[in-house]
Amino acid sequence: MELNLVCDNAILARHTITFYFVGYLFSMVSCGISSDRFGRKKVIIVSLFLQGSAGIVMALISNIYAIFVLRFITAIGGAGSFIPAVVLAAEVSSVDSRMKSSVAIQMMFTIGYMIISLLTYFVRTWRALMIIISIPSLVFAIVYVCFLDESPRWLLNKKRTKDANKILSNIAKLNKTVLPQTEIVNIFSSNNKRVETWKMFTIPQLLKRTLILMVNWAIVSMVYYGISLNVGKLYGNLYMNFFLNSVVEFPAYILGFFLLNRIGRKKLHASLMVLAGIACIAGIFPVLYGTKAHRWMLTASSIFGRLFITAAYGFMYLYTLELYPTCIRNGALGAMNTFAHVGGSVAPYTLSLSDLVSGKVGRIMPMILMGTLSIIAGLLSLLLPETNNRKMMDNFNDLTKSGELELATKKDAILKEETHPMKPRQPEEDIKF
């Protein structure tokens, strides 16, 4: 009401969501490439400053068109700080701990959801809420300037061996171990050739997994945001339903924590996508055949669907990181997130399908669509290679002819993985670009 977003102007409120997703799409491409070129740390810090400052300015103005622009900038900052952070965590982790670091980051995301649900209950004015949630971005940006180290893998990839050696020495000291006084393994990007992210569309081994991942990222995001936005249509208290749909993400990540290394990335992701689809489709039965006494079943199917799709979405980051070499890893993840937010931007319109058909049939159409697509994406992911206990690739020469990844022979700390001298592997057959 404050911005007069009612009657004919009501559509402007939806545009704020559209501008946010467009900003996210732009950030996925630009920040991914920038992070691979300028480093993870710089992009994270700049993005946090953008996110925090744009959020605060947004709370101080009343022009809806200026708010569109600021929403766009806020999305750039949000994506630009989150994606490189996921990459950085994976690149400073050993084979055994990559899964743990990924789960930890995703759980922080869930904690943020819970904090938002509590804040919206107690702080009912959007301006005060924007300021409260924007200030931490500026605080962490300042803290990271002083205390965050660059990724050693990225530094080695850029041939900055001295800087990488200094950071690895600090890590060794923190872990109470000794950094071997020998030559650090030099990680080159296809010798001296400049590597571009678009290479993932020209190398057959990467093209297949890229196309499958594009479909999976788009659908997992569409289903995730579709279920999230559908919370307002569930029976019961809106704030409680939102809180429950946020809390359920904890068991989702805990489930993955125990199963990811045991079952493997591929089988677990496929299973989660199929289960999420089944949960969505199961929600149609209380709508078609249930009474008021069965309303709880619709809420339960939504919660279970959120659980499975959250786990699938969260572990997609780790799975994608492990499927690409260091030289294009951040750019590849950014490209995949672009398709994710194409799917996310479609989610509100997917729910609008219920407006095209009246009655109970119209209400179940979005759930049928999301459930079916989720099952299809899960089955497609079975065509991807397994990455569990496999070596992380550093350049295109690490690709095998079959596309499968080499089994890891070292399961100790990142120091041992990155600082012990070893001879570069000679591929059986050169990869053609």
Q: Do the domain assignments include residue 225?
A: yes
Helical (H) or strand (E) element with 4: none
- pLDDT tens digits along 304-334: 999 999 999 888 888 888 888 877 777 788 7
Query: Given a cut of 80, is residue 353 above it in pLDDT?
Result: no
* Cβ neighbours around 10 below 10 Å, total: 10
The Cα 45–Cα 145 span in angstroms is 7
Which is more confidently placed, 411 or 370? 370
CATH number at residue 357: 1.20.1250.20
What pTM does this model have? 0.68
- Work out the average pLDDT over 392-419: 54
DSSP states of 363-396 as a string? HHHHHHHHHHHHHHHHHHGGGSPP-TTBPPP-SG
Query: Looking at residue 304, what is its pLDDT?
Result: 92
Residue 343 lies in a domain: yes
Question: Does 291 share its domain with 406?
Answer: yes
| Full domain range(s) for residue 56 | 8-148
* Mean pLDDT, residues 223-231 taken together: 85
Domain co-membership, 275 together with 133: no
pLDDT category at 259 given cuts 50, 70, 90 is confident
Locate 103 and state its tokens. Answer: 């789960």
Pair 230, 103 in one domain: no
User: 181 lies in a domain?
Assistant: no
Longest CA span, the chain = 73
Whether residues 20 and 138 share a domain: the answer is yes
Residue at 165 is within a domain: no
pLDDT in the model for residue 366:
85
Distance of alpha carbon 248 from alpha carbon 241, whole angstroms: 11
Count of domains observed in the chain: 2
Within a domain: residue 170?
no
Is 167 contained in some domain? no
| Residue 398: per-residue pLDDT | 65
Looking at the fold, whether 238 and 346 belong to one and the same domain comes out as: yes
Does a structural domain hold residue 161? no
Percent of the chain with pLDDT over 90: 21
User: Is residue 272 over pLDDT 80?
Assistant: yes
Over range 138-142, report the average pLDDT: 94
Q: 125 and 32 share a domain?
A: yes
- Average the pLDDT over 257-281 and give the result: 90
- In one-letter notation, the amino acid at residue 199 is K
Say if 65 falls within a structural domain: yes
Angle at 377 between CA 372 and CA 381, to 5 degrees: 150
What pLDDT, on the 0 to 100 scale, is given for residue 215? 93
Q: Are residues 201 and 132 in the same domain?
A: no
Judgement on whether residues 229 and 292 belong to the same structural domain of the protein: yes
258 and 127 housed in the same domain: no
Residues 102 and 251 in one domain: no
- 100, 215: one domain: no
Of 148, 183, 205, the one marking the end of a domain is 148
Tell me: do 96 and 233 sit in the same domain.
Answer: no
